[in-house]
Amino acid sequence: MQKNADFPWHTLTPEEVIQRAQTSPVHGLTMEEVNSRQRIHGKNKITSPKRNSPIKIFLLQFHQPLVYILIAAGITTLFLKEEIDAIVIFGVVLINATIGFIQEYKALTAIESLSKMIPTEVTVVRLGLRQRIPAEELTIGDIVVLESGDKVAADIRLLRVRDLQIDESALTGESIPVTKTVAPLAKDTVLAERTNMAYSSTLVTYGAGTGVVVAIGSQTQIGKINQLIASAESLSTPLTQNINKFSNLLLYVILALAGFTFAIGFLRGHPLLEVFMTSVALAVGAIPEGLPAALTITLAIGVSKMAKRNAIIRKMPAVETLGSTSVICSDKTGTLTQNQMTVQWIYAGKEYYEVSGVGYEPQGLIHQGDQPIDIHNNQALKECLVCGMLCNNSNISFQNSKVNIEGDPTEVALLVSALKAGLSRSTFANTLSRIDTIPFEAEFQFMATLHQIEDSPNTIAYVKGSLESVLPKCSHVLLANGDRIPLEPSHYISIANLMAQSGLRVLAFAMRYFDDKQRISHTDILEGLTFLGFQAMIDPPRPGVEAAIKACKGAGIKVKMITGDHELTAFAIAQKIGIVESTQTPKEAVLNGKNMPYLSDFALQDIAQRVSIFARFAPEDKLRLVKALQAQGEVVAMTGDGVNDAPALKQANIGIAMGKNGTAVSIEAADMILTDDNFCTIKVAIEEGRGVYDNLIKFITWTLPTNFGEGLIVMVAVIADVTLPILPLQILWINMTTAGFLGLVLAFEGKEPGIMSNLPRSPKKPLLSKTLIFRIALVGILLCIAAFLFFNLTLSQSQNLAHARTMAVNTFIMGEIFYLFNCRTLRYSLIKIGFWSNPLLLAGSVVMIGVQILYTYLPFMNSTFGSAPLTLEEWFWIFIAGFCIFIIIEVEKLIQYLLFSEK
């Protein structure tokens, strides 16, 4: 019944669920019923939507303006019978297409990972018998038995539970296992709080339960996430958008200028072949053949740098997108925090005690002010710690500097706080051996254990639980000196509320002595307990997160927290690490997911800009939030580790998955993976991304004057009706050699000073600013003038066309070498960043000069490219021309800096 998919099963009683599902809790379904329902609902499999074949994905890599330009360049070089150059150009096209295909195809496998998350076998009751069946054979109405360690195979409405706890972090983002119940809930209960449901792909961590299948395959919550992933739009990066616009413009300009050149030559009556070759020369000169290779290599270097700093890039353009990021939507647990619950405060014997140290490492002390506390002289504090340690089902061990935990993170935190006081469970194995237990149940909100006192018939019961469940059972309170005084409940309620308002999770502890009691029941601890105190804990922020957030804010980047946790807990952490201001209140800073259905997209856009914390968010809520921010023009980076994060990760401009604790689905949907799951790494990656973008702009600013100058020199020659100073083959030589030996070394340029003090670059901002366009035109004109001048002077003196053209070619290349040093920093003087700070650039310049010496003097090169030897004096003037270009541009940069530094 497809109508079951969205039915609010959590609102029904177990009896109503059985009736609606038309099944039996004792006998389950018959095989006839199973077959009938499978014909209606199909198998318990997540169906993948139809998408492009691998061949089509590969062919689409060529459907880009920049690739069209490269193919045109390759065809042109083939026409010129320069097969090697053509092979190089086509090789660049093929490599770029192959890399793009691999990245895109891997990214689209996220949905396939979902189906792998469903377990292979489950335990069901059919025909009154327990049996193991393949998970895909489950159908609506099946009775499923859940036990510790099981992965839930379908969405299940629970009928019976026994201490059942399920880890739903991958689905809801909730960091603590959820204790399950069977009682009906309100219809508007959010997914993370539906305690009577068990959802597909979640993990049973403790206890056991039985339930009825109410949704399978694509109709489960995990299946709906699959549909959200499929519907999420894969956005092109700002760089991709800008390069496409730039390439389109360049393509039209080249075609227009080549057509203009052809028309002038044709109208003047020149031979068609000569006119065509001149137009080809202009086209070859104007095409930046090295740009795609530079783009790929610069991004690849950025990828390599980030990998060394714990950030793995799956899609190379994401490197640059990081530099444009204006909003980071970060998951709280494990990214901003350590995902290790830590006791920070203890209140016992009417005194506060602070616990130092963070995480599960037992390094730290219990102290009051500056004074460490000896628990052996403080009976209340000692008993509070012993209670938390012994009334506990979890375990912690240490092996080869590695911490291994089993059980609830909250209980592990209690074990660690006891260890910091020098207490260990093994010490009490004989003196206080456990003989009976009342397990934790959501209905009662406490756990109790009974312990035999060594060499005595007496026993002692330890109780831990919520304030509301433990405090009413207490009549007295234990003091530090061992005395017991009557309890004042209002005092302890106010203390607990104060701690809770700080985002701390508060547990209460109590005890009671018995004479010769070997079994414990609820009636035994209804009253007469001695209150021991509170332990208050929190998942602490990661070291360095506060500084990283401050740096992001200084760079104009807004940081927003998205979590499955409660509002106050999230708010406390956000305040501590600087996401929200100290003057803000939870009401101002937090949006609860339960309000999302009532918000229009327009209203959400407004709230998304003002609010910094988003608590109790469902998968579709996260997706809506990302879209709302993008609608406001934001470039959104979204972090996540669970299945529930995958749709938003794919929709975000850059999705960031967690490498340590992330699910396969979130990793496949992401553009970047953090191998240390640390928010600080995002700040580092953004800094690297900005550096990568700067280096790309430097390359474009460096290479375009050459193309402009070459195109200009051909046009001037055509308009003036004079001999071409540079041949098409020589233009191709200049472009290919300089791009390889000179331009690509800019990819290794370091980050400029103050890179994280600049505001994020708007995606709407053009690739090149007006200042850079002016500089490109200026250098292109200077190169054209210098090359034309030396060409004409040399031709008039030697009457040797090859000699004159060699002067023009070397003038262009020397000008590019000097201009390369200008482009090391587009705003500051070369002195500020240091002349020697990029040794590869110096080496590339030396190699380029060496190559030009071979070009000028080797007979083979002379015959191939039409070059001729130059005198030492001619080299001197070429050097002077290049140096003059360098000085002019440095002066222009200084003027621009003085004019616009205040703006």
Q: What angle do CA 674, 677, 681 make, to 5 degrees?
A: 60
- Comparison of pLDDT for 598 and 833, the residue scoring more: 598
Partner residues linked to 124 by β-bridges: 131, 144
What distance in Å separates the CA atoms of residue 801 and residue 803, rounded to the nearest whole number?
Answer: 5
Contacts (Cβ under 8 Å, ≥6 apart) of 835: 821
Catalytic site includes residue 155: no
31: which 2 tokens? 């095989």
Mean pLDDT of 699-703: 91
Banded pLDDT at 780 (limits 50, 70, 90)? very high
pLDDT at 511: 97
Q: Where are the alpha helices (DSSP H) in 618-727?
A: 619-631, 646-651, 664-669, 679-720
Mean pLDDT, rounded, of the chain: 85
Task: Say yes or no to pLDDT of 38 above 80.
Answer: yes
467: which 2 tokens? 């304030």
Banded pLDDT at 1 (limits 50, 70, 90)? very low
**Which tens digits make up the pLDDT trace of 182-216?**
999 998 888 888 999 999 888 888 788 999 999 99
Contacts (Cβ under 8 Å, ≥6 apart) of 175: 169, 332, 333, 334, 339, 409, 539, 564, 565
Task: Say yes or no to pLDDT of 493 above 90.
Answer: yes
- Comparison of pLDDT for 538 and 261, the residue scoring more: 538
Instruction: Report the 3 state secondary structure along 445-463.
Output: CEEEEEEEECCCCCEEEEE
Report how far Cα 302 is from the mean position of its chain's Cα atoms: 16
Mean pLDDT of 81-90: 65
Report how far Cα 419 is from the mean position of its chain's Cα atoms: 36
| Residue given tokens 């018998």 in the structure block | 129
What distance in Å separates the CA atoms of residue 751 and residue 694, rounded to the nearest whole number?
Answer: 8
- Contact between residue 411 and residue 340 where contact means Cβ atoms under 8 Å apart: no
- Contact between residue 713 and residue 787 where contact means Cβ atoms under 8 Å apart: yes
261: which 2 tokens? 């050149």
Which of 155, 167, 331, 565 is an active site residue?
A: 331
What distance in Å separates the CA atoms of residue 704 and residue 287, rounded to the nearest whole number?
Answer: 9
- Contact between residue 510 and residue 456 where contact means Cβ atoms under 8 Å apart: no
What distance in Å separates the CA atoms of residue 80 and residue 86, rounded to the nearest whole number?
Answer: 9
What distance in Å separates the CA atoms of residue 730 and residue 813, rounded to the nearest whole number?
Answer: 11
- Comparison of pLDDT for 376 and 642, the residue scoring more: 376
pLDDT at 110: 39
**Which tens digits make up the pLDDT trace of 788-839?**
999 999 999 988 999 999 999 999 999 999 999 999 998 888 878 887 888 9
Q: Tell me the angle at which helices 770-798 and 872-900 cross, rounded to the nearest 10 degrees.
A: 160
pLDDT at 118: 41
Report how far Cα 541 is from the mean position of its chain's Cα atoms: 18
- Contact between residue 331 and residue 641 where contact means Cβ atoms under 8 Å apart: yes
pTM, 2 dp: 0.69
- Comparison of pLDDT for 650 and 113, the residue scoring more: 650
pLDDT at 763: 73
Count of C-beta atoms within a 10 Å radius of residue 93: 21
**3-state SS, residue 29:** strand
Q: Which of 295, 238, 235 is nearest to 107 (CA)?
A: 235
Q: Which of 666, 631, 625 is nearest to 646 (CA)?
A: 666
290: which 2 tokens? 């090295």
pLDDT at 676: 83
Task: Say yes or no to pLDDT of 295 above 80.
Answer: no
Lowest mean pLDDT among 78-87, 426-435, 538-547: 78-87
pLDDT at 72: 73
Banded pLDDT at 2 (limits 50, 70, 90)? very low
List strands edge to edge, sheet with 590-592: 311-313, 672-674, 654-658, 636-640, 327-331, 558-563, 613-615, 590-592
Q: Which amino acid, residue 35?
A: N
- Contact between residue 205 and residue 166 where contact means Cβ atoms under 8 Å apart: yes
Partner residues linked to 672 by β-bridges: 313, 656
State the first-to-last Cα distance of the chain, in angstroms, to the nearest integer.
65
Lowest mean pLDDT among 175-179, 365-369, 685-689: 175-179
Which of 397-401, 573-577, 871-875 has the highest mean predicted lDDT (pLDDT)? 871-875
Task: Say yes or no to pLDDT of 130 above 60.
Answer: yes
Phi then psi for residue 188, to 5 deg, are: -90, 15
Ranges of beta strands (E only) in 296-445 are 311-313, 327-331, 342-348, 351-355, 366-368, 371-372, 395-399, 402-406, 432-438
Task: Say yes or no to pLDDT of 380 above 90.
Answer: yes
pLDDT at 57: 74
**Which tens digits make up the pLDDT trace of 654-667?**
889 887 776 666 77
Which of 460-464, 465-469, 727-731 has the highest mean predicted lDDT (pLDDT)? 460-464
pLDDT at 639: 87
Mean pLDDT of 679-694: 88
Which of 635-639, 731-735, 849-853 has the highest mean predicted lDDT (pLDDT)? 849-853
> What dihedral angle (degrees, nearest 10) is formed by the CA atoms of 274, 276, 279, 284?
-100
Q: Tell me the angle at which helices 801-822 and 770-798 cross, rounded to the nearest 10 degrees.
A: 150
Lowest mean pLDDT among 677-681, 716-720, 836-840, 899-903: 899-903
Which of 282-291, 492-501, 824-833, 848-857 has the highest mean predicted lDDT (pLDDT)? 848-857
**Which tens digits make up the pLDDT trace of 338-373?**
888 999 999 999 999 999 998 898 999 999 988 899
- Comparison of pLDDT for 303 and 820, the residue scoring more: 820
Total residues found in the chain within this entry: 903
Count of C-beta atoms within a 10 Å radius of residue 35: 11
Q: State the DSSP H helix or E strand holding residue 146, giving kind and residue range, or none if neither.
A: strand 143-147
Banded pLDDT at 777 (limits 50, 70, 90)? very high
Lowest mean pLDDT among 612-616, 724-728, 861-865: 724-728
Q: What angle do CA 469, 472, 474 make, to 5 degrees?
A: 110
pLDDT at 416: 96
- In Å, how far are 142, 167, 202, 571, 613 from 642, measured between CA atoms? 27, 12, 11, 21, 18
Mean pLDDT of 480-509: 91
Mean pLDDT of 392-404: 86
Phi then psi for residue 399, to 5 deg, are: -145, 125
Phi then psi for residue 32, to 5 deg, are: -65, -40
Q: Which of 738, 767, 883, 785 is nearest to 826 (CA)?
A: 767
Task: Say yes or no to pLDDT of 634 above 80.
Answer: yes
Q: Which of 670, 678, 676, 658 is nearest to 173 (CA)?
A: 658
| Residue given tokens 């007006």 in the structure block | 770
46: DSSP letter: P
What distance in Å separates the CA atoms of residue 130 and residue 128, rounded to the nearest whole number?
Answer: 7
What distance in Å separates the CA atoms of residue 707 and residue 739, rounded to the nearest whole number?
Answer: 11
**Which tens digits make up the pLDDT trace of 529-543?**
999 999 999 988 888
824: DSSP letter: T
Mean pLDDT of 245-258: 78
